[in-house]
């Protein structure tokens, strides 16, 4: 090999190292070397390029966008949480969305006015203006706490740094989606998988001079905190801020009723590919802001909006193999390993087959030619089989009766549908190492302990190395051992240690959600936390002699049914689970659940409703009670503080029970009086 070739090879190696670390940092959010180490590689490559200019004709530093990895952005709490959106995929989902809104708001036949906007596939950011001056710019983060990326956002010229109008509210928060145009992305193609990753990577760079080199754009789409509130409708809000210099999407429109929704959805779907930015659906929002406020949010998403996705992109491929995956609840999911194929710009090599019934219904076999579809971020699905392409020698797929751990699997009987479940499950819990691994991934996830730097891949690595077998091990990691692993350095280990220590302090509701009891999602975990309040009360569930009595009391809680109660009973009937959870508790500082609004009109009050109301739906009444600090119960007991009786078909038995227990009973109108007092 001549000298020139040697230098070229050395340079190629350095550039591919940098690309690898850019990818780990920007695309996978999993940096594996320190800033200093990254800079050293970069410097070496730069020195070579300076000395041997012919290197620049190939992949050079200039073409690699991104500076040294850093996760040193200041964290700032959002003034109002940044939520996600519920998804709708077909007309029926939109009909349901409209129906739920009408029911919640107790409306009859009138159509609610909606505002529709393209859903930009970019990175969300929020801009805070105080007296018209841009003072904060944050990334979404985990929705509650974002990162201070103000300097990077300021590099986007079309973001006003000062709003000139006299009419601007004292405090104004503008939510927006930052993106890179499709044409601009073509120039950056080599360093990033898609425009979305490129925008995210660019926004999270420490050096805003680098961000400035990337042609970021944005569309403003929402209102965060505002003081005083001067806006009336979403449409009017956007029109006003557009006059103040913000960029809003020109394809937004007021629509009413399902027919208009469908028509407009189809129209935009048709022109979608001609737009210079990626959109994956349309967001439909209740236009009137007072109605949005009444509708409020569920734990993750607003009730007043939904993202109506465009139909998924499809492709044809061949099944190479069918393998089993075990989820954290023991569910066995068959997955088709397929010949890699591009679906909507993403290479796909796995597709879910859902469950045993789905395979037999569609008679899916290894070797089959199939059509697959990919919608949004979800794992692609197998749509249909092309039987004409099937070989005569092909055999029916026999679904394994055992879990990957070797244990027998079971199909449960569902109380709600009164049918046998379609899903097979391994019942070994933590004794199945496949389940244990998934449970650990759940525990460190964003909504649970939210351990930064301990993503799914790292959990896999630590699990394989036997560093962690069960949850408490996360808090007893031997960092010296991690330091010796390839890809880990001083900085990354220090960061991991910090984030693990930080996550040791956790509120009871998050803890309950984290331990992964089946059927106990975030919403139910909150209801349970509001019941138990402290970890010591929750721990009483661990003792067999207390359990059934406590579980009986849970029936009273609105939102908790027999399915949840059986599941809790099941979970704590397993000695191993109790031992694992106790060990975990010993590592933590679990603080009491506090109801967000302790000064509310119904703080610490237990309330029940019977009979339909004239002015408000039951869901809205419940939501108002909760946002005023009260708890809604589902049955009468001596714990109840107040029974509110609506005019339409109240249950006589409940009123009699309440009277017997001397519980205060009031009418719908008296309730409004308390609310307005």
Smaller CB separation from ligand IVH, 153 or 331: 153
Q: How far apart are CA 640 and CA 557, in angstroms?
A: 11
Tokens for 448, please give them. Answer: 């649970």
CA distance linking residue 550 with residue 528, whole number of Å? 11
DSSP assigned state of 297: B
Task: Give how many residues touch ligand IVH by CB under 6 A.
Answer: 16
Check residue 302 for interaction with ligand IVH (CB under 6 A): yes
298 or 635: CB nearest ligand IVH: 298
What is the footprint of ligand IVH within residues 116-145 (CB under 6 A)? 117, 119-120, 124, 140
Q: Are strands 171-180 and 123-130 parallel, antiparallel or unpaired?
A: antiparallel
Stretch that binds ligand IVH, among 83-91, 192-200, 401-409, 472-480 (CB under 6 A): 83-91
Nearer to ligand IVH, 174 or 459 (CB): 174
Cα(516)–Cα(328) distance, rounded to whole angstroms? Answer: 8
Pick 15 or 176: Cβ nearer ligand IVH: 176
Place of tokens 């799914």: 456
Nearest distance from C-beta of residue 230 to ligand IVH, angstroms: 20
Q: Which is nearer to ligand IVH, 120 or 517 (CB)?
A: 120
265 sits near ligand IVH (criterion: CB under 6 A): no
Of the candidates 146, 160, 222, 630, which one interacts with ligand IVH according to CB under 6 A? 222
Task: Between 117 and 620, name the residue whose CB sits nearer to ligand IVH.
Answer: 117
Residue closest to 147 by CA, chosen among 130, 124, 129, 170:
124
Count H helices, E strands: the chain?
24, 24
Q: For the CB of residue 129, give the shortest distance to ligand IVH in the complex, in Å.
A: 19
**One symbol per residue from 158 to 197: x for binding ligand IVH (CB under 6 A), - otherwise; what is it?**
-------------------x--------------------
Nearest distance from C-beta of residue 220 to ligand IVH, angstroms: 9
What's the CA gap between 328 and 435, in Å, rounded?
5
Q: Which of 84, 165, 298, 401 binds ligand IVH (CB under 6 A)?
A: 84
Per annotation, catalytic residue among 119, 288, 428, 631: 119
Exposure class string for 6-33: b at 16+ Cβ within 10 A, else e? eebeebeebbebbbebbbbbbbeebbbb
Of the candidates 146, 22, 29, which has an alpha carbon nearest to the alpha carbon of residue 78?
146
Of 179, 171, 178, 84, which Cα lies nearest the Cα of 136?
Answer: 171
Of all residues in the shown chain, the one whose CB is closest to ligand IVH is: 124
Interacting stretch for ligand IVH, rule CB under 6 A, among 33-41, 77-85, 237-245, 570-578?
77-85
Q: Which is nearer to ligand IVH, 73 or 308 (CB)?
A: 308
Place of tokens 């009468």: 636
Candidate residues 98, 180, 305, 364; the one interacting with ligand IVH per rule CB under 6 A: 305
In Å, how far from its chain's centre is CA 322?
28
Look at residues 218, 206, 182 and name the one whose alpha carbon lies nearest to residue 25: 206
d(CA 165, CA 357): 62
| Residue 645 φ then ψ, to 5° | -105, 120
DSSP-derived 3-state class of residue 633: strand
- Which one of 73, 129, 192, 221 is in contact with ligand IVH (CB under 6 A)? 221
The DSSP code sequence of 486-537 is TT--HHHHHHHHHHHHHHTEEEHHHHHHHTT-TT--HHHHHHHHHHH-SHHH
Q: What is the smallest separation between the CB atom of 221 and ligand IVH, expressed in angstroms?
A: 4
Site string for ligand IVH, 597-626 (x = CB under 6 A): ------------------------------
The answer to whether residue 85 forms part of the interface with ligand IVH (CB under 6 A) is: yes
| Minimum CB distance to ligand IVH, residue 73 (Å) | 18
Contact status: 83 vs ligand IVH (CB under 6 A): yes
390/369 Cα distance (integer angstroms) = 7
Q: Provide the minimum distance between the beta carbon of 82 and ligand IVH in the complex, in angstroms, as a whole number.
A: 6
Closest approach of ligand IVH to the CB of residue 236, in Å: 16
The question of whether 466 is a catalytic residue gets the answer no
CA distances from 275 to 248, 307, 655 (A): 15, 19, 60
Angle at which helices 257-271 and 91-104 cross, to 10°: 140
Q: Please report how close the Cβ of residue 458 comes to ligand IVH at its closest, in angstroms.
A: 25
Rounded Cα–Cα distance for residues 394 and 389 (Å) = 11
For residue 149, state whether it binds ligand IVH (rule: CB under 6 A): no
Closest CB to ligand IVH among 82 and 226? 82
Least CB distance to ligand IVH at residue 304 (A) = 9
Active site residues: 119
Chain residues binding ligand IVH by CB under 6 A are: 82-85, 117, 119-120, 124, 140, 177, 221-222, 283, 302, 305, 307
């Amino acid at each position: 090999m001549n000298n020139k070739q040697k230098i070229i090879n050395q340079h190629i190696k350095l550039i591919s190292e940098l690309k690898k670390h850019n990818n780990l940092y920007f695309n996978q959010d999993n940096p594996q070397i320190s800033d200093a180490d990254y800079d050293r590689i970069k410097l070496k490559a730069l020195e070579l390029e300076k000395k041997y200019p012919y290197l620049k004709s190939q992949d050079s530093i200039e073409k690699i966008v991104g500076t040294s990895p850093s996760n040193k952005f200041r964290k700032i709490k959002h003034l109002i949480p940044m939520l996600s959106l519920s998804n709708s995929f077909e007309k029926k989902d939109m009909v349901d969305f409209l129906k739920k809104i009408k029911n919640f708001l107790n409306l009859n036949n009138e159509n609610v006015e909606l505002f529709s906007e393209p859903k930009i596939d970019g990175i969300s950011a929020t801009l805070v203006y105080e007296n018209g001056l841009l003072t904060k710019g944050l990334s979404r983060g985990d929705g509650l706490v974002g990162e201070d990326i103000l300097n990077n956002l300021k590099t986007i010229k079309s973001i006003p740094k000062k709003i000139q109008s006299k009419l601007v509210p004292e405090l104004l928060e503008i939510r927006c989606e930052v993106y890179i145009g499709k044409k601009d992305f073509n120039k950056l193609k080599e360093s990033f998988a898609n425009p979305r990753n490129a925008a995210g990577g660019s926004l999270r760079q420490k050096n805003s001079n680098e961000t400035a080199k990337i042609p970021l754009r944005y569309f403003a789409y929402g209102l965060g905190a505002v003081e005083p509130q001067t806006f009336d409708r979403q449409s009017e809000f956007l029109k006003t801020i557009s006059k103040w210099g913000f960029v809003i999407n020109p394809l937004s429109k007021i629509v009413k009723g399902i027919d208009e929704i469908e028509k407009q959805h189809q129209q935009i779907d048709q022109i979608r590919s001609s737009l210079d930015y990626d959109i994956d659906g349309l967001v439909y929002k209740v236009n009137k802001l007072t109605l949005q406020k009444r509708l409020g949010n569920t734990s993750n998403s607003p009730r007043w909006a939904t993202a109506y996705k465009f139909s998924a992109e499809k492709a044809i491929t061949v099944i190479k193999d069918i393998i089993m995956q075990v989820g954290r609840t023991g569910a066995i999911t068959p997955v088709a390993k397929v010949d890699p194929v591009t679906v909507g710009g993403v290479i796909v090599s796995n597709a879910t087959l859902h469950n045993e019934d789905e395979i037999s219904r569609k008679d899916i076999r290894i070797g089959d030619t199939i059509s697959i579809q990919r919608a949004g971020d979800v794992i692609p699905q197998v749509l249909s089989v092309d039987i004409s392409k099937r070989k005569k020698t092909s055999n029916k797929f026999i679904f394994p009766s055992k879990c990957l751990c070797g244990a027998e699997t079971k199909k449960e009987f569902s109380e709600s549908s009164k049918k046998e479940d379609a899903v097979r499950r391994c019942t070994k819990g933590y004794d199945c190492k496949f389940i244990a691994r998934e449970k650990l991934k759940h525990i460190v996830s964003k909504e649970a302990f939210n351990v930064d730097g301990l993503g799914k891949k790292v959990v896999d690595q630590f699990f394989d190395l036997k560093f962690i077998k069960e949850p408490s091990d996360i808090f007893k990691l031997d960092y010296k051992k991690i330091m010796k692993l390839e890809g880990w350095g001083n900085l990354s280990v220090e960061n991991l240690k910090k984030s693990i220590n930080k996550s040791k302090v956790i509120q009871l509701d998050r803890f309950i959600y984290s331990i992964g009891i089946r059927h106990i999602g975030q919403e139910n975990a909150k209801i349970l936390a509001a019941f138990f309040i402290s970890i010591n009360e929750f721990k009483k569930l661990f003792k067999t002699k207390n359990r059934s009595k406590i579980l009986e009391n849970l029936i009273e809680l609105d939102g908790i049914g027999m399915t949840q109660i059986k599941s809790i009973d099941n979970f704590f009937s397993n000695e191993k689970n109790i031992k694992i959870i106790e060990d975990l508790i010993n590592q933590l500082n679990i603080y009491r659940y506090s109801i967000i609004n302790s000064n509310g009109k119904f703080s610490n009050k237990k309330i029940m409703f019977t009979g339909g109301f004239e002015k408000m739906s039951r869901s809205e009444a419940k939501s108002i009670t909760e946002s005023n600090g009260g708890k809604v119960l589902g049955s009468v007991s001596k714990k109840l503080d107040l029974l509110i009786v609506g005019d339409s078909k109240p249950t006589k038995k409940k009123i009699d029970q309440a009277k017997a227990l001397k519980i205060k009973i009031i009418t719908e109108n008296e309730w409004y009086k308390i609310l307005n007092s």
